[in-house]
Amino acid sequence: MKKVLKYLAITLGILFGIYLVLCFIGPKEMNFSHSIEIAQTPDVPFNEVADYRNWSHWSAWSARDPKMTSIYSGNPMEVGYKWEWKSESEGNGSQEIKEVLLNNKVVSELRFEGFDTPNKSSFTFEPSASGTKVTWAVEMGNVSFFFRGMMFLFEGTMKEDFKTGLARLKESCEN
């Protein structure tokens, strides 16, 4: 039994050491974006994004938790419009519009329960030869030391969610 505990302690120590190294080399700030071309004028994807009630049609997070409960306050497409959600699988949080440029840009403050610092999320809508280039971006600001190790996994997951969400947004807008 002592031998098993010894190997378990050594294994846990090694894993903790690896995680600490990841924390040292992990990003202090995290910013990323993903874009997609949508064969529509900018007003179509803008209307989908600037009204949070539409997100259930295309958001990867809403698709993973159809039981997510949502509360909306304020007026869609206006500064102060807010979406608060509760989700067992995706966590609880809120998103509030902080800046709107009609058919051009939506900037929001994104908060997750358990984290003090808000994140900045934005969508831009640029006319293009094939319709509209939609870019979804997030700025996560300062990442605390012990969360930096997780950022490698988190970044990959977020990028996949953005890619999936934008593909579903494209489908929603083009059909």
- Residue range 2-174 in CATH 3.30.450.70: no
Is the model's pLDDT at 150 over the cut of 90?
no
Q: pLDDT band at 121, cuts 50/70/90?
A: very high
Is the model's pLDDT at 129 over the cut of 80?
yes
Q: What is the 3-state secondary structure (H, E, C) of the chain?
A: CHHHHHHHHHHHHHHHHHHHHHHHHCCCEEEEEEEEEECCCCHHHHHHHHCHHHHHHHCHHHHHCCCCEEEEECCCCCCCCEEEEECCCCCCEEEEEEEEECCCEEEEEEEECCCCCCEEEEEEEEEECCEEEEEEEEEEEECCHHHHCCHHHHHHHHHHHHHHHHHHHHHHHHC
Identity of the residue numbered 73: S
Residue 15: predicted pLDDT: 85
Identity of the residue numbered 111: R
Is the model's pLDDT at 60 over the cut of 90?
no
Is the model's pLDDT at 116 over the cut of 80?
no
Residue 166: predicted pLDDT: 96
Residue 139: predicted pLDDT: 83
Segments making up each domain of the chain, as ranges: 2-174
pTM of the predicted model over 0.95: no
Highest mean pLDDT among 17-26, 37-46, 61-70: 37-46
